[in-house]
Amino acid sequence: MSSSQQQFAYPVSSPYPAAPAEASQSTQTPAAAAASSSSTQPAPATQSRQAAEEARKDRTLAEFMLMLDDYEPLIPNEVTDYYLQRVGFECEDVRLKRLLSLAAQKFVSDIAADAYQHARIRTNATGGRARVNQPLSGPGSAKDKTRTTLTMDDLSAALAEYGINSRKPEYYI
């Protein structure tokens, strides 16, 4: 065969990962296949780092669960028990119930913080800044004008970010 008649097989690269059946039929040379198979297996140092990281996470989780024994969430245990019973969740582990109470507390706290931010944006956009020439005492003082008041619109906007619709319908039947 002449050099112009020789055909070279170039491996076709695809943006998608090869299926297992296609991987065994690839046109790689044995040296390239050995190099690629050795790169897919993590090195012993990597495995030891992963094991150490998992052990650290397990210790941290165990310490956190022990801290839940002493922690009293803002949502009372009776309220948590009531709602868990209502949805059919039965568990005798107090730490798990407190963990759920803590998650609910965080959720409510995030919504309140978002509603506060919406209220601050609304008051700053409408010129909610107080005038400097007013006296500092009395019901119409500058101190009263700088207070932020949360409205249902602020709460509705914050809840909408979490996918909760709290708006009243336009009409009642």
* 79 within 8 A of 105, measured Cβ to Cβ: no
Has residue 63 been placed in a domain? yes
Instruction: Give the phi and the psi of residue 16 in degrees, each rounded to 5.
Output: -100, 145
Phi, psi for 4 (deg, rounded to 5):
-75, -20
Query: Range of 122's domain?
Result: 45-130+145-161
Question: Roughly how many angstroms between the first and final C-alpha of the chain, as a whole number?
Answer: 88
Q: Count structural domains, the chain.
A: 1
Asked if residue 121 is part of any domain, the answer here is yes
Distance of CA 42 to the CA centre of its chain: 29
Q: Kindly report the number of other CB atoms within 10 A of residue 18's CB atom.
A: 11
138 within a domain of the structure (yes/no): no
Tell me the pTM. 0.56
Question: Does residue 124 form part of some domain?
Answer: yes
Q: Which pLDDT belongs to residue 15?
A: 41
Give me the pLDDT at residue 166, please: 86
- Over residues 6-22, the pLDDT tens digits come to 444 444 444 444 444 44
| Domain containing residue 126: CATH number | 1.10.20
In a domain, 137, yes or no: no
pLDDT at 100: 92
**pLDDT by 10-residue block (mean), the chain, 173 residues:** 45 43 46 51 76 85 84 90 94 89 94 94 72 51 69 92 85 69
DSSP 37-104: HHHHSPPHHHHHHHHHHHHHHHHHHHHHHHHHHH---SS-HHHHHHHHHHTT-----HHHHHHHHHHH
Residue 84 within a domain: yes
User: Given the structure tokens 């119409």, which residue do they identify?
Assistant: 140
Distances (CA, A) of 73 to 39, 66, 96, 105, 124: 48, 14, 12, 8, 34
pLDDT at position 22, please?
42
pLDDT score for 138:
54
